[in-house]
Structure 1
């Protein structure tokens, strides 16, 4: 999981047991599931928090926006960080920071403290995601990665899909503080047991951090997420979102130039040589488009179900839960199919399924059957399950071992930016269309639904790019026999 001074990874020093070389992943998967769940768990709690802390909807939404922004700032640094510390130290750091943030959020007496707790949570989450993916690519042989990645998909993609469902259940009977109070003991238990069972997968490498790159990554990626989240919601006296985005893009360009220079004369913070591998670049773009579509739909569905159809937070959570659960259950199966069939036979139908599901949601009205909405959501989740495992595996599998951590970090960073883009654009499209319909004399509810239809159709349009990128993936899987590890993750 770490690199030597010469830029190559040392072989694993130990394994948990000779019979189960993948056991190290079990605790990383459990920890990653818990931390990623918190990225979307606040969605259904916004109305209650607005009342309790007397804040506006725009301010309350920062509980999710700040989480994404922090992830975008921290993840670019993790490629360097994971090559400088051992597996156990990285795990201990990430989970300790996450637990501290969770405790702060659970006990927050005022809104700014709650927001600070969310930021600290996000720092720990930002380390866990690349740590899991980098370790997986290090310990799992190429011919078995599809099957194992299928299990890991449970943490990487199902957790954010289940976030709104979990919060809906908790809020039905308990206060919002229990969303953190129930997570904290589980996270602590995973941390304690994980540190007892984890083994280091290599020797840390030496090297100094380029602080200019750290600052540029924070300002560039953080500013980009912030600007995108403010599109269509600028307050009087604040900097225009377009200006923030433009300046951030200039800073990101400077960050890229700095990394290209460090690749020749030193050690970059984020090694961009990963982009030389065509399968990784295609996978990176495909994942970005898929995350844009998924996060946009996750924002729109609760609004439609609660503001238009009058469903409660619990009912909304129950309606989106089947899709998230099915997505997780399909992960191992999709992994096995990938090992046998390759990426394209799975990703192409999956990308078409996303287009169809969002197209169906683009036809909703004030009287559309909730069963049709449920079916469309399940189709979207199943389609995403067919995409995530093959794309993660193909993308990272195309990289040399010493670039795994940098590839994982770049994937994670782009996911957060794509999530911010998807959220900002669908909300802007919805508001713009709804305002136009209202000015034309439409009923407010009908105008809102009209805006949602356009926003869903925008997601379907983005998904067409997923179909095109899917056709560019490698046709076949690695032509090796699939090994069987009875007690793997």
Structure 2
């Protein structure tokens, strides 16, 4: 009877967490398709509007290191309900935002809630599933996490075309409220709390360090890489992050336990995670900008183009989770990257005549590749760690992913902006009679092509790192040693 009760609790717990994670991920990605629209509504540039995404990911990245402390200090129930409340309050502010700065502030508040959800959910999986079933469990979570970005762009495109971008937030409010009510009634705790102390200096250092690094990367698009502010921001950020890392290594009770990087498998999966995340987030922002600014497609058209690939990605996630349990990580990573590399190469020569169907097939190929990598990547890294480091591994994993996504987006938008400006000047020299509208769309197309070259190089680098991953038999021996 006790066992049945445990099963019921496990099912209810995971269901509520998955729905909360679905709404959080939907909220994070739903504005990607709206960036071009928001550039026109608030009269801001591409380098400014990308802060809607990079700012969200930065707050996530800054907050996630603190989640290891939060999960020791507070219960599953308290953390989940708090994160949903942040999401709710942020949605109200965004829905009523009179200016871009207020919209950005609302997104930051939403990000504070979203930052807690992902590491919390992964820690719950580590706590309630045995090591040999985590691949399948992560695959099911992946279905929920990837299904949100799958329907997000199409939903957002439809809402923007026929209603207003504000309805993207208004529509979320009742759904988040329902999840909060369900959590209050049914959510149970799976971890024990302790009176852990928060290292305030570490929080300050990580916030300043990551903030300056991201500001430097983001500002390079408008100011140029040689600008004093850009260089100074990057130098300050790197120095402060170095101090933060030294403090974590020397601390007896670190906020973020960096000893997880002593594990070879965890370190390799983290490096691959950085490269894959940079590509994934950058593509989700760059492709809609190319379609809308370069080709004149509507937001709804852009969303529809992304839908088939994202749906394939979502429904393949449970399959790749089971394949991971059976074959291990390395074969899946290699298969995935053999899909991703050609998918990036396929859009390095974009033009005004590149067909809608061509781009859709290419995006399906990219998403098939990503489905072989995203969830197995997280599972392989966390399975390689001893149980007492699982919580810190989850926090490090998510920190790495959010910061990589933010920097990747900033770098790709910077390359796009710089190259588009350069191409515009070249076109005007060779053909001075080009109209302003045609010049703008042509520059946007050529700038996007150049940015995809950079992303293809990242994919090749990820494949090179994958070759150093151990095969399943060796990884299995390591996992058994950690459990004993």
Per the normalisation by structure 2, the TM-score is: 0.90
Alpha-carbon separation, structure 1, partners of 2:219 and 2:298: 27
Alpha-carbon separation, structure 2, partners of 1:356 and 1:50: 31
The residue aligned with 1:190 is 179
Alpha-carbon separation, structure 2, partners of 1:112 and 1:448: 25
From the two aligned structures, give the one with the greater helix fraction.
2
Aligned to 2:346, the other structure's residue is in SS state: helix
Which one of 410, 434, 439 corresponds to residue 420 of structure 2?
434
Which one of 186, 200, 210 corresponds to residue 189 of structure 2?
200
- Is 1:73–1:219's contact at 8 Å kept on the other side of the alignment? no
Q: By how many angstroms is 1:346 displaced?
A: 1.2
Cα separation, partners in 2 of 1:358 and 1:427, compared to 1, 3 Å = same
- Is 2:85–2:113's contact at 8 Å kept on the other side of the alignment? yes
- Is 1:165–1:317's contact at 8 Å kept on the other side of the alignment? yes
Equivalent residue runs for 1:7-18 within 5 Å: 17-18=6-7
Q: Which runs of 5+ in 2 are unaligned?
A: 478-484
Alpha-carbon separation, structure 2, partners of 1:86 and 1:190: 17
Cα separation, partners in 2 of 1:450 and 1:50, compared to 1, 3 Å = closer
User: Is structure 2 residue 239 aligned with structure 1 residue 253?
Assistant: no
Which one of 346, 361, 365 corresponds to residue 375 of structure 1?
361
Deviations 1:197-236 (A, max 9, x none): 221112102221111111101111222222222222239x
Of 54-63 and 278-287, the range deviating more from structure 2: 54-63
Equivalent residue runs for 1:312-391 within 5 Å: 312-391=298-377
Aligned to 1:268, the other structure's residue is in SS state: coil
User: Is structure 2 residue 381 aligned with structure 1 residue 392?
Assistant: no
User: Is structure 2 residue 56 aligned with structure 1 residue 67?
Assistant: yes
Cα separation, partners in 2 of 1:228 and 1:156, compared to 1, 3 Å = farther
Q: By how many angstroms is 1:434 displaced?
A: 3.3
The residue aligned with 2:154 is 165
Aligned structure 1 segments of 4 or more residues deviating by more than 6 angstroms: 477-480
The residue aligned with 2:450 is 454
RMSD: 2.3
Q: By how many angstroms is 1:40 displaced?
A: 2.4
Q: By how many angstroms is 1:348 displaced?
A: 0.5
Q: By how many angstroms is 1:194 displaced?
A: 2.5
The residue aligned with 1:8 is none
User: Is structure 2 residue 387 aligned with structure 1 residue 401?
Assistant: yes
Alpha-carbon separation, structure 2, partners of 1:123 and 1:34: 14
Deviations 1:371-403 (A, max 9, x none): 111111111111001001211110011112222
Q: By how many angstroms is 1:143 displaced?
A: 0.8
Cα separation, partners in 2 of 1:337 and 1:159, compared to 1, 3 Å = same
Which one of 408, 411, 423 corresponds to residue 422 of structure 1?
408
Per the normalisation by structure 1, the TM-score is: 0.89
User: Is structure 2 residue 199 aligned with structure 1 residue 210?
Assistant: yes
Which one of 279, 282, 285 corresponds to residue 271 of structure 2?
285
Which one of 281, 289, 303 corresponds to residue 295 of structure 1?
281
Aligned to 2:222, the other structure's residue is in SS state: coil
